[in-house]
Structure 1
Amino acid sequence: MSDFKIMKTRYILLLLFVLVTINAWAQAPAPKGKISGKVTDAATKQPVDYATISVYKQGVAAPFNGISTDPKGNFTVDQIPPGEYRITADFLGYQRTTVDHVIVKAGGTTNLGEVLLSPNTHQLKDVTVTATTPTVQNKIDKMVYNPQNDLSAQGGVAIDILKKVPQITVDIDGNVELQGNANIRFLINGKPSSIFGASLADALASIPASQIKSIEVVTSPGAKYDAAGTGGIINIILKDSRVEGVNGSVNLSAGTRRENGSFNLNMRKGNFGVNAFFSGNAQINSNAPNTSNRTSTDGLGNTTTLFQQGSNNFKRNGYQSGLNFTWNISKHDDLTASVGFNHFGNHGSGLTNQDENKVDPNGIELSDIKTLRTSSSKFSGTSTDVSLAYKKTFEKEGQELDILYSSSFGNNSFSSSQLLQNLQAGTIPTGITNNNPGKDKETNISVDYTHPVSKNFTIETGGKLDFNHINNNVVTDTLLNGANVPNYNQTYGFTYDRKIYAYYLSLTTSVFNNFLDIKAGLRDEYTVTTADFKNTNIPNYNILVPSLVFSHKISESQSVKLSYTRRIERPDYGDLNPFLNISDTHNISTGDPNLKPERGDNFELGYNKSFDGGANINIAAFYRKNTDDLQRFTTFYDTLTIDGSTYTNVSLTKRYNLGSEEREGVNIYASVPITKAFNLRTNMIFSNRTSNNPGSPSVSGFTYRLNLNAQYNFGHDLSAEFFGNYNSSQRSIQGTQPKFVFYNIAMRKMFMNKKASIGLTASNPFAKYVSQSSTTYGTGFNQTNIRYVPIQSFGISLSYKFGKLEFKKDREKDDNGGKQDDMPADKGK
């Protein structure tokens, strides 16, 4: 990319920063007021907790602010401009209460006193409760994507939803980047899982979309979060239910490329609830043609061309199951326990024709070797996740203690085989097979405490222990003279342990009469790593991780945020292992036990505005600098000697700390309701990445991603959606990454009072394959790879919700967890 384009990109980002900052500070409002009160049951005089308080401008039909009452029925709605308002209080099973002509003065508090809710005197029969949640919610420390109305993801998996999430890009192989960074910390329900450690792409393809409640994107995590992940954190929240009664759902889908199904069952009575789920999926076998052409030159001027052409068959399967238990022991004590079992696997096989041709500087052929390579691989991974969480609240509002224990146990197995047949008559085939079983265990113990010192000043502190243990073995046999014999140079085993000790302190406050909200934190993490790799001593290290967020609410409809955080990427066991993997003699890989952790300093400026009528725009400009940048680098060798054996025409790939990387960019998300029935959403990312490597010229690459989501409601519970996505190609330190085009069409019809639905989806319906072309180059070699990836698919999905829901308002609980003065429940289907 030219210097002019780089400068242009930076000037655009600087201009954006200046405009948003000027807009934020120039529109500083007059001091705002508050509305407070207490909601109680008109019959029993008991507090009504979690009642919904809505604030309307007098004479306006739609609310512009609101809040839920606390466990004692109290509420305070702040940041209210001076004026006249209408206040409503609602809760299921009660009649709405409205308070008109509420006057709010600048800087003052209007106390409504006791707001009474009267229970409904009749039993509800057929009640349909419809909760409209915004597709994207922007919060001070994260962005939340809610896929409930995501038609094109119906019958899909987690990776299909991630393609829609702002600030996230997904390539054709399921590799995920957050603001252009692939080093992301993935969580399930806020907890780590060993399911992600074995194969991230397989894990994300094993979670059905129907099982996902929301996806949280944290680009600037605070001190409370683990420091791992220079790109940030993606937290996948699975569905559960806290509604009284017995209910559930069934989801089934079938298609030309993928099939899956899920079952949810929720049971809750009084203070105790249980959620059970099972989901399974399979990707039907698909065939992907590919070619690779590598040209290299040796020290004598001879040129070798290695041309490979073949195809790979691939299929995948997986399932998940789990039980979640909740027990409200008393009004101040809650206990939650969960156990989950996950499995996924894949099977691939391929056939590749290889032609290795060598000529001298005059073009005279020195050799021409034609071979046929047959390969096969199988992977199977299981994980069991268990957790126990205890939450204690106190009489003081906002004061709470959280204790969490979680463990994840993984058991993985990988096997592969390769047979190489020289097509010249009379030659004997050679081959290699290996079996790689492994086990891993990750245990986390965390304690978090929140203490509100005053109304505008809160302290959070806590600590965490993170212990990770891996045991891995590789047994390799080589085919010689028609018989498999042990290959001791490629047979090995290791034990790997990593312990992380963390402590953090975080402060939240409001200054200048609530004009500016500030959250500052510091986290300290000490890492101890041991492994019995040959001749290896991995150093320990301590890292301080600061974070700082400034947030200003310009008005009720717009806000601005400026944040800074430091993140790290620890090299994992595969990066550290010095063992040389020679399963493919032309492409060898290894690790380096002396790798240091990568450190990332991330800055982000965000602006969010909501408009009358439901439109919303979010702009996030970001700058990231990684030092000791971890990058994979390929070096070409004419000949390479390993353990007494010499290999020719070899590419050796290894991960290095390669100087630094800088990335600046902007993400723009917008949602626009064109009409009541027609809605458009778009997400755009533009960024430039510069890699600075000592001894080599810096490499810059500009990239962008554009997508458009259009949804139309035809009425009569029939709706349709179109989703299109374009990822541009990007230059890397040793080549270019391919572009990616994807589009999806979907329809859904709901019936049986919205309890059931049927959906149709089509992905890339007019093209069977997506072509992917990438290049890699370095000293003495140049390589081009082309893949044809089959992503065309057609599918149908069915969904059904069942069960009877009981909406009951619990009264104040006694110290033993019992309830006092319970009212008869209003019931409905």
Structure 2
Amino acid sequence: MKSFLIYLFLFIVLCTYANAQQQSRMAFITGKLEDSDKNPVPFANVALYHTKDSTLVGGAVSDETGNFKIQSSAGHYLLKITFLTLNEKIVPDVRLAGKDINLGVIIMTSNAKVLSEVVVKGEKSQMELQLDKRVFNVGKDMSNIGSNASDILNNMPSVTVDVDGNVALRGSGNVRILIDGKQSGMVGMNPAEALKQIPGDLIESIEIITNPSSRYDAEGEVGILNIVMKKNIRYGLNGSFTGTAGYPSNFGGSFNVNYRKKKLNLIASYGHLYREGPGRGTSRQVYNSTDTSFIYEQKNTRTRSGFSNSFMVGMDYFLDKYNTLNGTVSYRKSRNKNTSLLEYRDFDLNNNLTRTVIRSEQETEPRANFEAAINYNKTFEKKGKSLSVVGKYILSDEIESALFNESSQTEVGSLVQRSFNTEDEKNILFQVDYIQPFGKNGQIETGLKSSIRLLDNDFSVHQQNQAMNWVILPDFDNRFAYDEKIHAAYLMASNQLGKIFIQAGLRGEYSDILTELKKTNVVNHRKYFNLFPSLHLSYKLKESQTLQLSYSYRLSRPEFRSLLPFSNFSDSRVFRAGNPLLNPEYTHSFEAGHLMNMEKGSLLSSVYYRHRLGVVENITSVDSAGFTTVTPINLSTGDSYGFEFNLTYDPFEWWKWTANANIFRAVNQGVYNDKILRSDTYTWTSRLSSRLTLLKNIDFQSSLNYRAPRKTTQGKELSQYSIDLGLSRDLLKGRATVTASVRDLFNSRKRRSIVENAGYYSQSEFQWRARQFLVTFSYRLNRSKEKEKRADDSDNGEDS
């Protein structure tokens, strides 16, 4: 035993000495990689081989500046350098003799054949299908370039945006709009206007989630629209810059840059937008009841103009392989200036003109929004296991002040009025999510979320008397407070059994909502708890075909604007008011989908059914003086049946087609003032788009949007269509792109509607924004177009 220990000791000493001798002969091979334009080549593979037998000895990856370093023992070697879009480079006769050598700058040449393949294969798909959502990459659609968030949503399948900016999904306006998966002050208290202030150049993709799983908030009858903002985590300094000019006035610029080195990633984005949106409309109102009978026509012209500035800075800090800390701060400030001119022409029942009234409006509308968020993400050695913690604070304020002047040719003097509407909002959000894998493909997800939302709205209308003093109109003077506290928890499990993937979850939400009209002391306090189950099934029929089934139970709480008992006062004869007594809607949603991947395209088709309780509808009523009020109420139950398809087809590499349609039947029925109101309508929406690639670097796109007529419980909405065209060309070796486009080529995007009630008939047409011409220039810093596409598919943070 003693001899064995002596021999063992001597063996260790000899091995240590030999290893020390070997280490003393180790040396470094260094160099720098550049392309033909003397730009560094980052992240290229550099492999070291023995010259004698071509065995692999070692290797390295070049850093963001193109430099590489390989350590090896003395010997005779060759280097093989590979990069996706460049020719392979061989450096022969590399002799290492115990001291470091520097190979200097190594030039790599472009490979036109490989580059062509990257453009086709590395390109992000316009639509990506995931288990519970569809992802649409915004940059692939030329009609989105130089636009705002509202325009982009209007180009999404099954999504419609009316002339007032209200967003609907599958024909329903009860859709939840999120920013980066969370509620945001960027959408604000008035989503229709706020979405127009978000530059489209800062948007990466739109996620359409028609049957959300339990990990998402239960809010939103038809689902969720998630706007994903651009954020880069590529190494080095890179980014993109965009400038837009258009007619009618539409000017903007934005940038999105990041700098990453080792464990730190810094990001910043800024967008400026100035626009003028001219609109016009006409309507005819006929009142014929026992109390009053008269006719008037209205003609209005409006211009909504203003600017917005959106700024965001953030930081990702990769503590180690498993822990990441992220913080962002964003600020948006905007100021709108809106003018309108309304002409009322009064007629008697014999259609004789009796009076003409002119009403003008000048409104200013400054807004500010501040957001701060901090995220902590932790992954584990076990793949798929993760923990995330999110905290967010939002502060928003908005002030609307308007001056009105109304005069008539048959009356002396004029009516002068003004209105003030201040809206302040504060949001606090905390959320934690945890994922625990089990078995081969299973995982359990659970999480908690609490959100507090406090809003304060002060509204008043003043009228100037004969003594030129301002007098408050008591019917239009109040202060509305809205306090919302929602606490939620969810548990969800998923697993794959052969060709079947199943995901089931349950979410519980406790809602505590208090509304108060402070000047009239009207208080409404609601507390309720609901359970929201969800179920998703996916079955792989063949390698190219997948079947999906899903169910979810959801609710739609009344939005802030729908609860306000007062609203815009620009039209003195038609007043749109909210209803503080509105209750939530509840929806059972079922959907079955089939995805078929073909050699030259894909087809996603689905059928769905929704059953709704407490459906909110706008009811038009007329008083004895002919004053019209539009108010939302919980009117009816509703059933919707629909079929939807999304088709992509590429007959050639240079020609791509996309088509989508949503065909549905909606049946609503309820009772109002002891009268049964019912609507049963068959209608559809569709979009057809074609993109041609000409001369390798020129793209031409055309698209047609169509919205069929539909019946409502008090009338009908007529059809609407529009055509968009776009032409783009790549410049500066793919680092820049210039795009020219026209939206609504034939000036046909108009809302046309008819309302019929007992003793009342109205027909109207309105166009919110005229035909738009745009030219946009985009430049990519340290990223060519092809490299950007490839990086989008492969760059996933720390592992990259």
Using structure 1 for the length normalisation, give the TM-score: 0.78
Match of residue 455 from structure 1: 440
CA distance in 2, matches of 1:309, 1:256: 24
Match of 1:540, SS state, is strand
CA distance in 2, matches of 1:700, 1:45: 72
TM-aligned CA deviation for residue 738 of structure 1: 3.3
Match of residue 562 from structure 1: 549
Match of residue 440 from structure 1: 425
CA distance in 1, matches of 2:47, 2:499: 35
Structure 1 residues 193-342: aligned runs within 5 Å: 193-257=184-248, 258-286=250-278, 288-299=279-290, 303-342=293-332
CA distance in 2, matches of 1:421, 1:742: 37
CA distance in 2, matches of 1:535, 1:191: 32
TM-aligned CA deviation for residue 562 of structure 1: 0.6
1:479 is aligned, of 427, 440, 464, to 464
- Shift in CA distance, 45/469, structure 1 to aligned 2, threshold 3 Å: farther
**Are 1:418 and 2:404 counterparts?**
yes
* Larger relative contact order, structure 1 or 2 (CA cutoff 8 Å, min sep 6): 1
1:346 is aligned, of 310, 333, 336, to 336
**Are 1:544 and 2:544 counterparts?**
no
CA distance in 2, matches of 1:772, 1:223: 36
TM-aligned CA deviation for residue 674 of structure 1: 1.1
Q: Which letter does structure 1 place at the counterpart of 2:343?
A: N
Match of 2:226, SS state, is strand
Match of residue 593 from structure 1: 580
Match of 1:180, SS state, is coil
Match of residue 531 from structure 1: 515
Match of 2:436, SS state, is strand
TM-aligned CA deviation for residue 585 of structure 1: 4.5
TM-aligned CA deviation for residue 297 of structure 1: 2.0
Match of 1:539, SS state, is strand
Q: Unpaired segments of 5 or more residues in structure 1?
A: 1-38, 49-89, 97-119, 639-647, 810-816
TM-aligned CA deviation for residue 574 of structure 1: 3.3
Structure 1 residues 641-720: aligned runs within 5 Å: 648-694=625-671, 695-720=675-700
Comparing 313-322 with 137-146, greater Cα deviation is found at 313-322
- 1:702-756 per-position Cα deviation (integer Å, ceiling 9, x unaligned): 2111221111111331121111111112111112223221111111111221001
Match of residue 372 from structure 1: 358
Q: Which letter does structure 2 place at the counterpart of 1:157?
A: N
Structure 1 residues 457-536: aligned runs within 5 Å: 457-481=442-466, 483-487=468-472, 489=474, 490-511=476-497, 514-533=498-517, 534-536=521-523
TM-aligned CA deviation for residue 236 of structure 1: 1.1
Match of 2:217, SS state, is coil
Q: Which letter does structure 1 place at the counterpart of 2:246?
A: G
Q: Which letter does structure 2 place at the counterpart of 1:143?
A: R
CA distance in 2, matches of 1:320, 1:201: 17
CA distance in 2, matches of 1:409, 1:608: 42
Contact residue 536 and residue 593 of structure 1 kept, 8 A: no
TM-aligned CA deviation for residue 772 of structure 1: 3.6
Match of 2:187, SS state, is helix
CA distance in 2, matches of 1:378, 1:413: 8
- 1:532-589 per-position Cα deviation (integer Å, ceiling 9, x unaligned): 3122222211121111111111122110101001111111333334458876542234
- Shift in CA distance, 439/717, structure 1 to aligned 2, threshold 3 Å: same
Match of residue 140 from structure 1: 131
CA distance in 2, matches of 1:196, 1:548: 29
Comparing 483-492 with 219-228, greater Cα deviation is found at 483-492
- Shift in CA distance, 481/329, structure 1 to aligned 2, threshold 3 Å: same
Match of 1:628, SS state, is strand
CA distance in 2, matches of 1:772, 1:521: 40
Match of residue 623 from structure 2: 637
What's the Cα RMSD here? Answer: 3.1
TM-aligned CA deviation for residue 486 of structure 1: 3.0
- Shift in CA distance, 227/260, structure 1 to aligned 2, threshold 3 Å: same
TM-aligned CA deviation for residue 488 of structure 1: 5.3
CA distance in 1, matches of 2:471, 2:153: 44
CA distance in 2, matches of 1:679, 1:124: 37
TM-aligned CA deviation for residue 305 of structure 1: 1.1
CA distance in 2, matches of 1:630, 1:429: 38
1:801 is aligned, of 780, 791, 794, to 780
Contact residue 190 and residue 561 of structure 2 kept, 8 A: no
Match of 2:194, SS state, is helix
1:729 is aligned, of 693, 709, 719, to 709
- Shift in CA distance, 712/159, structure 1 to aligned 2, threshold 3 Å: same
Q: Which letter does structure 2 place at the counterpart of 1:588?
A: F
- Shift in CA distance, 228/788, structure 1 to aligned 2, threshold 3 Å: closer
- 1:150-180 per-position Cα deviation (integer Å, ceiling 9, x unaligned): 2222222223332332232333443322122
Match of residue 741 from structure 2: 761
Contact residue 183 and residue 229 of structure 1 kept, 8 A: yes
Match of residue 762 from structure 2: 783
Contact residue 704 and residue 724 of structure 2 kept, 8 A: yes
CA distance in 1, matches of 2:47, 2:496: 34
Q: Which letter does structure 2 place at the counterpart of 1:796?
A: V
Match of residue 604 from structure 2: 618
Contact residue 636 and residue 778 of structure 1 kept, 8 A: no
- Shift in CA distance, 319/620, structure 1 to aligned 2, threshold 3 Å: farther
Comparing 481-490 with 145-154, greater Cα deviation is found at 481-490
Q: Which letter does structure 2 place at the counterpart of 1:433?
A: R
TM-aligned CA deviation for residue 621 of structure 1: 0.9
TM-aligned CA deviation for residue 482 of structure 1: 5.7
Contact residue 635 and residue 779 of structure 1 kept, 8 A: no
TM-aligned CA deviation for residue 221 of structure 1: 0.5
CA distance in 2, matches of 1:243, 1:383: 29
CA distance in 1, matches of 2:542, 2:59: 35
Match of residue 409 from structure 1: 395
The structure whose Rg is larger is: 2
Matched-pair identity in % = 24
Match of residue 392 from structure 1: 378
- Shift in CA distance, 44/280, structure 1 to aligned 2, threshold 3 Å: farther
CA distance in 2, matches of 1:717, 1:580: 50
CA distance in 2, matches of 1:567, 1:587: 33
- 1:412-471 per-position Cα deviation (integer Å, ceiling 9, x unaligned): 11112222213214x232232012122101111001111113223321111100100112
Contact residue 171 and residue 740 of structure 1 kept, 8 A: no
Match of 2:260, SS state, is strand
Q: Which letter does structure 2 place at the counterpart of 1:400?
A: S
TM-aligned CA deviation for residue 605 of structure 1: 0.6
Comparing 243-252 with 165-174, greater Cα deviation is found at 165-174
Match of 1:181, SS state, is coil
Contact residue 245 and residue 804 of structure 1 kept, 8 A: no
Q: How many residues align?
A: 690
CA distance in 1, matches of 2:572, 2:124: 54
- 1:198-219 per-position Cα deviation (integer Å, ceiling 9, x unaligned): 3323322222232221111111
- Shift in CA distance, 529/369, structure 1 to aligned 2, threshold 3 Å: same
Contact residue 429 and residue 482 of structure 1 kept, 8 A: no
Match of 1:148, SS state, is helix
CA distance in 2, matches of 1:445, 1:41: 48
